[in-house]
A and B are shown apart, each in its own frame.
Chain A
Amino acid sequence: MNEILHSADAVVLASSGEGGVAFFALILFAVPFVAGWFTYATLYKRYRNQHERYQFEHTTAAERLQLQRWDTFVREKKRMRNSKIDGRNDDNSHERASHAVVREAMGPRNAQAAREAQPPRMAQEARDAQEPRDAQQARDAQQARDADPGREAEPPREG
C-alpha cells in the first residue's frame, strides 16, 4: 500500500496544483464504477452476442468500376480544437448521409404496370383546359411593345 501511496504522491506532484489533484481524485473515485460497467458489458456481450450480425459489406464480392473523382479546394481552416472533421461519417458506412436517395431503374413490376395502365389524371385534363395565364398574357404584350418601331431606347443616365 505504501508503494501505491508513493506513486500517487508522484502523480500528484507531477500534476502540480490543486486543480490537478482534484481531477486525479475524481478519476480515482470514478474508476470502480467504470470497472463495474466494463465487467457487466463484457460478460453480457460474451453470453448474448447481440452485436453479432452478417458483415455483408465486408464479405460480399463487389467490383468497383469507372471511378471519377472531384476534389475542389474550398478554404483553409485555422485553430480548430477537434482532431476530426465535424460530422464525420466516412468511417461508418451504415450511417446514412443527411440526403440519401436510392432509385431503381424499373419500379416494382406490378405497381409499374398499374401506373402505366392508369388513365390520364383529372389534374392534367384541367391543366390542358386552362386559359393562358395572366403572366403569359403580360409577356406576350411585352414582346409586342419591344417590337414596336415607334419606341426609342432611353439615353444613358448621367452620373
Chain B
Amino acid sequence: MTQPDQHGVPSEPEASAQAEPAAASADQHLIDTSTGRAHGHDDCPQCGSTEVSRKGNTLSLICGFCRYEWVGSRLEDTHGLGEGIGELEGRTFTSGAADISSGEDLVTLKCQGCGSEVVIDTARSLESRCHWCRSILSINDKIPNGAVPDGILPFHITKEEAIARIGEFAGARRFFALKKFRDEFKPDNVLGVYMPYMTVDGNVSARFHGKGEVQTRRYTVKTGENTHTTYYDANQFDVIRDFDLHIDDLIIESSAGRSNIDNRENTNNIINSLLPYDVKNMVAFDSNYMGEMTAEKRDLNIDDVTRKAHAQFLTMARESIRDDIRGYDRGVQWTHEDLEVHGSRWASVFVPVWLYSYAERLDNGRMMIHYIAVNGRYGNVMGSVPINKSRLWGVTALVTGLTALVAWPIGAAAMLAG
C-alpha cells in the first residue's frame, strides 16, 4: 500500500507507470472509455453531495440530498460498440479490457471533504465511506488492476424476488437433498455480486470441407426365415461452405476462478448457465450503481481468454451453417474446419448475479461449493443442490426391484411358453 500524493487521486506511481505499456502497444486499437475523473468524491452534478444512489430498478441515479436525477450513458451509444463489426481488423479493446498490469488491490484515497485517508479494497468494492466526515469516496476511473470495467448492468431483480426464486428452486428439490442442506437452507443469505465478464465482437471468415450423403433408396431384404435387413443407397458429395460471420457480443468469463468449469471439482457451470445478459444495455461504469453489492475483480487478460473465444467463434460458425446443409439427409462429416479471425473488439462489463452458496464436504474430504444463482437482469434461476446419495440409491434400488417383480415373471413365462 502506498500513500496518496495529491488531492483525491490514488497514489500508485508504480501502477501508473506499469499501465503505460499496455496502452502504448494498443495504438489505434484502443477505445478510450476512461472518464478522466479523479478518484474520491463522485458527487451530484447539481448540489455536490456524495449521497448518490440508484433509483429503484432503473438506470437512473438520484441524489439523496437534492433529489436531482440523471441517467448513465449507454456504452453502445457513446463508443459505438455495436457498430462496424465487418470493418474490425486486428484487436480492438476498450480501456477497461486493457491488460492487467498491477496486482495491488488496496487503493488509498484522500477525502476531498476532510482530508483524511481512506483505503478501498478494490477486489471487493469500489466505494467506501469516509469514517470521519461520512462522505462517500469512489473509484471513478480505470485502474490497472482490472477492478474497474467499462460498463455495468445494474440489478433489475430485487433481493426479495431472488429469495423467492431461490426458495422455490430449492423447495422443488427437497426430497433427495442432503439433510444438512435442508436444515441449514436459508435463502435470506443470498448475496448480490457483480461478476466480471468480457464481451467480444468478431469479424471472422469460416471455410468448412467435408462429405455429405443424400439418401436415394431405402429397402428391406429378407435375410432368413424370420429376419430382415434394411439397406440404404445414397449419393455422396464433396461439400464446401465458405462464408463470413459477424458475431455480436459473445460473453466470456474474465475471472480465472469462474472460468474454470469442471463438474467434478466445482459448480461454476451454474453461474455460466445464467448467461446471456442484455449487455447491449450496459451503461458506462459508475460505482454509484453498485451500492452495497460486492464485486469480483477481473484477473484474466484478453490473451488469456482468446483461445476460448476463438473456439466459441468456430462453434458458432458451425452452428450457423447447419440450416444450409439440411438437404444432406444422411448428414455431413466435416473433415476440415478453417476459421480466420480478421478482427475482434473487446470490452469488460460487470453483470449482476444473486448468489446462494452452500459448502458440502465430500467423502474424500474435499469441499464442494454448490451455487443456486439468479440472473440479476432476467431472473432465470439455476442451481446445484447437494444430494443425499443413500436416499437416491435407495429409491433407485426400489424402482429396480419393483420393475423386476413385474418384468422377470413375464420373461420367465415367455421362456416357458416358448
Contacts and interface: CB of A to CB of B under 8 A. Distances in A.
Interface size class of A (residues with CB under 8 A): 35 or more
Given A65-B244, A80-B234, A4 B410 contact: yes
A12 B414 contact: yes
B65 to A, nearest CB: 42
Contacts of A53: 261, 269, 272-273
B324 interface: yes
B342 to A, nearest CB: 5
B77 to A, nearest CB: 17
A3 to B, nearest CB: 11
Given A28-B408, A71-B237, A76-B236, 6 more contacts: A20-B226, A36-B396, A66-B244, A70-B239, A84-B331, A85-B212
Interface stretch (B33-41, B107-115, B281-289, B310-318): B310-318
B335 A98 contact: yes
A44 B393 CA distance: 10
A113 B25 contact: yes
A52 interface: yes
Interface residues of B, number: 113
A91 to B, nearest CB: 7
B341 interface: yes
Interface of A: 1, 4-5, 8-9, 11-12, 15-22, 24-29, 31-33, 35-36, 39-40, 43-44, 46-50, 52-54, 56-91, 93-94, 96-106, 108-110, 113
A47 B385 contact: yes
A123 to B, nearest CB: 28
B234 to A, nearest CB: 5
B245 interface: yes
B18 interface: no
Nearest to B246: A63
Contacts of B395: 39, 43
A65 B417 CA distance: 65
B235 interface: yes
A79 to B, nearest CB: 5
Nearest to A6: B413
Interface string B83-114: 00110011100000000000000000000000
